Amino acid sequence: MAQEITVPQLGESVTEGTIAEWLKQPGDGVAVDEPIVSLETDKVAVEVPSPVAGVIGELMAEVGDTVEVGAVIATVMPGGTPAGDGEEPARAQQQREEGREERSEKQDDAEKSSDGASSEAQALSPSVRRAVLEHGLDPSTIKGSGKDGRLTKEDVLAAAKAKQSGQGASTSAPAPSPSTAQPSSTGERREERVKMTRMRQTIAKRLKGAQDNAALLTTFNDVDMSAVIEARGKYKELFAKKHDIKLGFMGFFAKAACLALKDVPAANAYIEGEEIVYHDYVDISVAVSAPNGLVVPVIRNADQKGFAQIEKDIANFGARAKDGTLTMDDMKGGTFTISNGGVFGSLMSTPIINPPQSAVLGLHRIEDRAVVIDGEIVVRPMMYLALSYDHRLIDGREAVTALKIMKEAIEDPMRMLIDL
C-alpha cells in the first residue's frame, strides 16, 4: 500500500509553503529519511524526507504550487524496486528516457527556430534558475557537475563565489568568436518574468513595513581597525588551535555591541503597542546571505558568550544558510541586528532595521585612508559604521552614544575585557 507524503509542520504561524524543487521523480528509489522535495516558506527552505524506503509513486503537486500543512503531495511504494531493477521498472525507465529524448528533440527544434538560446539555459531547474538570476551569472559559462552535465545549485554558488573573489568563474567556457556570436547582432531584446519566491516576498514586505511604521534615522562614525587587525594577527593561530575556529571580525563587533547595548538599553528594546519592551539579555541577529535571499539567524545570549562560541555560531549559520538547512527557530527572536555589507565591498550604507527591533549596525569594507592623529597625517585601516534606529524610541543622543561606545571598544579591545 502506498505511503502518503504530507506537508509537515513548518513552524509557528506558518500554514503553507511552495514547492521549490522535486528532488525525486516517479520511479526513483528513496531511502528512509532521504529528502524528496524542497519546500519554500516565508523564511526558510524545508526539505521533506521520505518516512519509508521504497520507490516514488505519484507527485500530486508541481513546482511553484502552494500547498498547505497536512496536504498530500506525493506517494511512496514501500519496499518497491527502483526503476532499472527488473523488467517492468526497466521498461518504465526506458519510457521515461524516451519521453525525455522526445521532449529534448522538440525543445531543440523550438530553440533553433526562436532566438538561438541554448538548450542548457532552458533545462535549468527552478532552484538553479533562481540562483543564476540572484547572482547575475550566465549559465552558459558554468560547467555543470550534475547528471549529463546539468547545472546544480552548488555549481552556481561556486561560480558566484569565484566571481566575488575576483578570480572569475574558473569553469567559464571560452568566449565565442565573432562569427558565432550571432544573437547579439539581431538587435532583439528579451525579458523574463520569474515569480518571486515566498522568502523574497516576505523580505520585501518586512522591509517596506519597517519604512512605513518606524521613524528611521541613521548615524555614522568611522573606526580605526588597527588594534583589532593586530590582535587577530597576533592570536589567530593560537585561537584556531585551541577553539578549532578562525578568529574573525564579527566576534569583536558582537562583543562591542553587547557593551553598548548594556549602557544604552533603548537600542536593545522595541515598541509593542503603547509599551516599550526592554531586554536584560542580548540576542544578536546576524544578517547572512543565502541563495534565496537575506536571512537573519540569531546568536542567543551573545552577552554571555565568549569570542570562540560567537565565531562558531556565525560559521555554523553561514554554512547552514548556504545549504538551506536553517530552521524557523534559528531566526526567531533577536533584539539587535548586525549586517556586514563589507564582505561584498560596500563602502557605506543605511541599513534598515529588522522589525520589531529598533536598531541595526551596518559594517562596511576596510580600506586604508589618510587620517590625522596627534597632528600628523598617517595611514590607517578605516571602516565606516552605520547605526540605523527607530527614532520613536531611540533619541539621537542615545544612538550616537551607542555607536561611539562600539567605536571605542573596537579601537581599544581591552575595554571589552574589563567591561568599560
For the cut 50, the answer to whether the pLDDT of residue 87 exceeds it is no
pLDDT score at 91: 44
State the SS3 of the chain: CCEEEECCCCCCCCCEEEEEEECCCCCCEECCCCEEEEEECCCCEEEEECCCCEEEEEECCCCCCEEECCCEEEEEEECCCCCCCCHHHHHHHHHHHHHHHHHHHHHHHHHHHCCCCCHHHHCCCHHHHHHHHHHCCCHHHCCCCCHHHCCCHHHHHHHHHHHHCCCCCCCCCCCCCCCCCCHHHCCCCCCCCCCCCHHHHHHHHHHHHHHHHCCEEEEEEEEECHHHHHHHHHHHHHHHHHHCCCCCHHHHHHHHHHHHHHHCHHHHCEEECCEEECCCCCCEEECEEECCEEECCEECCHHHCCHHHHHHHHHHHHHHHHHCCCCHHHHCCCCEEEEEHHHHCCCCCCCCCCCCCCEEEEECCCEEEEEEECCEEEEEEEEEEEEEEECCCCCHHHHHHHHHHHHHHHHCCHHHHCCC
For the chain, the distance separating the N- and C-terminal CA atoms, rounded to the nearest angstrom, is 68
All structural domains of the chain: 3-78 (2.40.50.100), 120-171 (4.10.320.10), 202-417 (3.30.559.10)
Of 76, 394, 75, 120, residue with least CA distance to 265: 394
pLDDT score at 11: 65
Amino acid at 92: A
pLDDT band at 364 (very low <50, low <70, confident <90, very high): very high
4-46 pLDDT, tens per residue? 888 887 766 677 788 878 888 888 888 888 888 888 776 677 7
pLDDT score at 148: 63
Please tell me the pTM assigned to this model.
0.63
* 417 contacts 256 by C-beta, under 8 angstroms: no
Mean pLDDT in residue range 197-216: 83
* 35 contacts 3 by C-beta, under 8 angstroms: no
pLDDT score at 82: 55
For the cut 50, the answer to whether the pLDDT of residue 115 exceeds it is no
Top-confidence residue, 121 or 322? 322
For the cut 50, the answer to whether the pLDDT of residue 174 exceeds it is no
Mean pLDDT in residue range 370-376: 92
pLDDT band at 100 (very low <50, low <70, confident <90, very high): very low
Mean pLDDT in residue range 169-192: 56
* 357 contacts 387 by C-beta, under 8 angstroms: no
pLDDT score at 329: 81
pLDDT score at 173: 44
- Residues with catalytic function: 391, 395
User: Poorest-confidence range of 62-71, 235-244, 407-416?
Assistant: 62-71
Mean pLDDT in residue range 40-58: 81
